[in-house]
Structure formats: structure tokens, C-alpha cells
Chain A
Amino acid sequence: MMNYSSGPPETESRTLPTPAVRAEGLTVVRGPRTVLRGLDFTVPRGQITGLLGPSGCGKSTLMRAIVGTQAKVTGTLDVLGLSAGHPTLRTRIGYVTQAPSVYDDLTVRQNLDYFAAILTLGRAASARRTDIDRVLADVDLTTHADSLAGNLSGGQRSRVSLAVALLGTPELLILDEPTVGLDPVLRRDLWNLFHDIAASRGATLLISSHVMDEAERCHRLLLMREGEILADDTPDALRTRTGSETVEAAFLHLVDEAAAAGRRKETAR
């Protein structure tokens, strides 16, 4: 046995040289306001990181910055070892916008066909077909493959949008509230799918959500409030640290704490 490669932490750090996302002093200005204020965090590879926070705190903005569609980004933001928005990242990231972005006047399959053609250049038509069938099954829309996207229910449309991001084998999936408006059974199935993607492919998932019981299913959590990161930890550690039963309680605790601190700062001024 070679003793220099025996330590598991060491091999671990060799196979995972860079985090999936690394931000330092990440600041984003949208219109008149500073939406993200000097964020520092990392998203580890091969895990599901939940992005939680009240409406308007900047979750979608942060995701857009990582994907490279957000303008006026300053600071450091490295994604898969490259700076965010690097052209070669475009095939390596799957992105689901908060509002479903699909063509309403195409069928579900035609939508997937087109995006697959854009993504997986030069792949054989049969391979592309298999891929499309797979993602259709993943989001449970096989029976609706030939319906017009515009004629689907809200939850079905958002699943089409999710299916597009699952095409190919993206190393990083950025999912902006992918389970909003879905029933409990479907949500459970999708979370199983997310875990499966992380475990089998070693893909990284960054998933924003409002639903706190979904937070319990993440490996790590980023809690945000008003453009700042309140906490960056595992769900267990968060609960222990705040002495709360659930992540929801822990989150409320942290928000109250931050609000109180904010008030103290203001009165001190």
C-alpha cells in the first residue's frame, strides 16, 4: 500500500479540487438598488445545496449571476473553476428560470427536440430521442409529450421547463423554484430524482425554494435575507446551532436575530 494516497480526506480533496461555485465579494446592482451585497460563499460539488430566503431577497438574481445572464455583477464568481459566464460553461450548466421558459406554441416533445438540438450538437438522432424520452419520464410527462405546452396546467408547464434543464448531462443544475405549485407526490418524486442525479453522476444542484420541508432534503443550505447570506451550513448544524426543531424554525430564528441586529445598528447610528 502506498502510504501517500491512503488518507481519505486527502484523496477527497484531490478529486474535488475546486468547489462548484465560489463567490467572493459578489455584488449585483439591478436598476437603482444593490440586490446582492458582497456575498462570500462556496457551493460544494456533488451535493444538493438549497437556497432559501424571503421573496425578493435575491435568490433568482444570484442564480442568474451564476448562470451568466445577469448584468452588473462585480466581485469574484467562479463556476466549475471558470469565471461565471464563460462560453464553455454553457453546455455544462442546466438552468431552470423561475417562470417556465418554453414555447407555448410547440408541443412538449418539439420543445425538448429544439433545446436538445441546441445543446447536444452532432449527437445521433436516436441518442437524442432516448434522452428526450428519459427526461419526459423523469418529470412524468410522457403521456403529455404531444400536447401543446400552452395547453398544459401551470405545474405541467414548469415541469417541461425543468425537463429542458435535465437534457444531456449537466455538471451543475441551477433550479429556480422547480417544485413550486406541484403536488406532494410529484415533489417527493422530483426530490428523489434530484438526489439520484447528485449521487449517480456526482452533479451539483443549487435549488431555490420557499418550502421549508424541502430544505430538510438538501445536503447544505444557504439562507439569504435582503441580499446577504445569513447562514451557510448543513440542515442539522443549523438546527443544533439555533436550538430549533425544524429548519423552518431555525430560519425564522435567524431572520429575527438579523432583524434585531439591524434595528440595533440603526438605533445606534
Chain B
Amino acid sequence: MSTPTTKKPTKPTKKPTMNTTAPTSALNVSRTTATAARVLRQLRHDPRTIVMMILIPCVMLFLLRYVFDGSPRTFDGIGASLLGIFPLITMFLVTSIATLRERTSGTLERLLAMPLGKGDLIAGYALAFGTLAIIQSALATGLAVWFLGLDVVGSPWLLLLVALLDALLGTALGLFVSAFAASEFQAVQFMPAVIFPQLLLCGLFTPRDNMHPVLEAISDVLPMSYAVDGMNEVLRHTDMTATFIRDVLIVAGCALLVLGLGAATLRRRTA
């Protein structure tokens, strides 16, 4: 048997697609909230995941508090940074697995054959995981500030704001990398690949200006650096500083940018 490969020299004739003018690309509120409700319902059937998402940050902060029992100043710095890092990591993991499952189970193909805008889907995920992130961060922040004696000079609400933006950034990154993972195994490996370098360079272990200039320059373009920076601004200043506002804007901007990139990876037509 031979296939006549020379029959047609891939001459692209008229393409039967008109997807350029998709009226469903604008955000639709009811489809977005339906998607968010669906994602949360899925999680509700998996209570163990919810409990772990919410409790693990608290347990880690608790541990940390007593690891640095003799130096509460160290706990302040690391604790505040972690409040920004936890939501990012958790939401990154949850989103990358959830969207990968959506791709592999065929539900994504089904949804994109329906009148669901890509923006609706992404905003739905962001809304659902953002809600969870608020609960997670509120508990962790409350525990750290009121029970573990985390010494925050600024308003705890600002800590919460940064945590929420970090969660959105995590959701965005997770959504984006899930497009490049063919299996759950690969998706999980993106955690060391995408998150660990940021963790090392974000200023958690040593101030960023103490690092080798090359590493410092790299850390300047990694969004987690600004997440941690923002947390530390709240830790040390009563008012919103210009640096804080810059940090918040950068994290929010990165989240939006990566969400947009994530939207671009959702293809209605696949091979």
C-alpha cells in the first residue's frame, strides 16, 4: 500500500473558517459566572483538595513561626513574603491541572464548539480560583497577624489585596503552561520549572540587591519578585508607598498579560 503523497502539493484553497469575527469573544457575565460556579462545584465534590488548599498555608506559617522562635524579625520578613507566595503556587497548581483535565477530557472541545467565549472560560476560572484565594489568604493573613504575632505596620487589607493578585497571577500562569503539557506528569513538572526559579530569586532567601547582578537583573523581570516586594512594603510602611503601587500594578499587569496569552492557547480548531 502506498499513499499518493504527490497528489496534492498542499495548496491551501479557500479555508472554511470565519472565526475572525467571533461575536462571543466579548466577556459575557452569565456565561462567566456559570463557568465559575461549575468550577467551584467540581471542587466541592473534592473536599479534601479544598481543605488542603486552605489549611496547608496556615500550617506552614505556624511551623515557620516556631522555626524562627528566637528571631521574630526573620519570621516577619519570611512570613509576609510567604503570604504572597502561597496563593500563587496553589492556584498555579490547581489551575494547570484543572485546565489540563478540561483539555484531555474533551470538555474543552465541547465547550469551544458551543457559544462560549474564550474570555468567559478564562474569566470563569479566574473568578472561581480568585474566590478560593480570598478565603485562603484571609485565613492565612488572619492567623499570621492576630495569632502568630506577624508584625505588620500597614493595613492587613493591603496584604489581602496583594495575595489576591498573586492568586490571579498563579491562575494565569497555570492556564498558560497547561497548554504545553500533554499529561498531568508534565503539568506538575512545570511547577519546578516555572515557580522554583522565581522562588529562589524573589528575595525570600536574601534581599535581591545582595544577589549577583545577573541574577538581580533576572529577578527584576520575574513577577513574583514584585509580589514579595509588595508584601514587604505593607510590612514596613503605614501608608501605601509609591513602590507598593508600582508592585501591585506590575503583578496585576503580568496577570492580565499572561491571561491574554493563555486565551491565545485555547484554540477552537485543533489538529
Binding site for B on A (CB under 8 A): 25, 27, 29-31, 33-34, 37-38, 65, 67-78, 82-88, 90-91, 93, 95, 97, 99-106, 110, 114-115, 117-119, 121-122, 148, 164, 266
Contacts and interface: CB of A to CB of B under 8 A. Distances in A.
Given A85-B268, A101-B110, A73 B17 contact: yes
19 contacts: A30-B271, A37-B7, A38-B8, A69-B113, A73-B17, A76-B14, A78-B16, A85-B19, A85-B269, A91-B115, A93-B113, A97-B109, A99-B106, A103-B107, A105-B46, A106-B45, A114-B34, A114-B37, A115-B114
Interface stretch (B20-28, B217-225, B230-238, B239-247): B20-28
A91 B35 CA distance: 17
B206 interface: no
Given A73-B15, A85-B16, A101-B106, A90 B24 contact: yes
Contacts of A105: 42, 45-46
Given A87-B18, A101-B110, A118-B111, 5 more contacts: A30-B271, A65-B16, A93-B113, A106-B45, A114-B34
Contacts of B34: 114, 117-118
Interface string B94-132: 000000000001110111111110000000000000000
B109 A101 contact: yes
A118 B45 contact: no
A83 B16 contact: yes
Nearest to B112: A69
A103 B16 contact: no
Contacts of A100: 106
Contacts of B71: none
A38 B106 CA distance: 27
Contact of A121 (B30, B35, B38): B30
B268 A68 contact: yes
Contacts of B113: 67-69, 90, 93, 95
Contacts of A27: 8
Q: Which of B2, B11, B19, B267 has the most CB of A within 10 A?
A: B19
Contacts of B38: 103, 106, 110, 114
B270 interface: yes
Nearest to A30: B271
B3 A69 contact: no
A144 to B, nearest CB: 16
B10 interface: yes
A114 B39 CA distance: 10
Given A71-B270, A74-B12, A121-B28, A87 B42 contact: no
B214 to A, nearest CB: 41
Contacts of A77: 16
B16 to A, nearest CB: 4
A94 B195 CA distance: 41
Nearest to A100: B106
Given A27-B8, A101-B110, A115-B114, A69 B16 contact: no
Contact of B114 (A70, A78, A88, A119): A119
B73 interface: no
Given A27-B8, A69-B269, A114-B34, A84 B111 contact: no
A87 B115 contact: yes
Contacts of A88: 23
Contacts of B270: 69-71
A72 B269 CA distance: 8
A106 B43 CA distance: 9
A117 B120 CA distance: 12
B12 to A, nearest CB: 6
A58 B258 CA distance: 36
B267 A87 contact: no
A24 to B, nearest CB: 10
A73 B16 CA distance: 7
A102 B107 contact: yes
Contacts of B267: 71
Contacts of A65: 16
Nearest to B116: A118
Contacts of A110: 38, 41
Contacts of A266: 1-2
A148 B115 CA distance: 25
B101 to A, nearest CB: 9
A85 B115 contact: no
Which 3 A-B pairs have CB atoms at the shortest separation, nearest pair first? A101-B106, A117-B34, A71-B269
Contact of B16 (A29, A76, A97, A118): A76
Nearest to A174: B113
A98 to B, nearest CB: 9
A196 B113 CA distance: 25
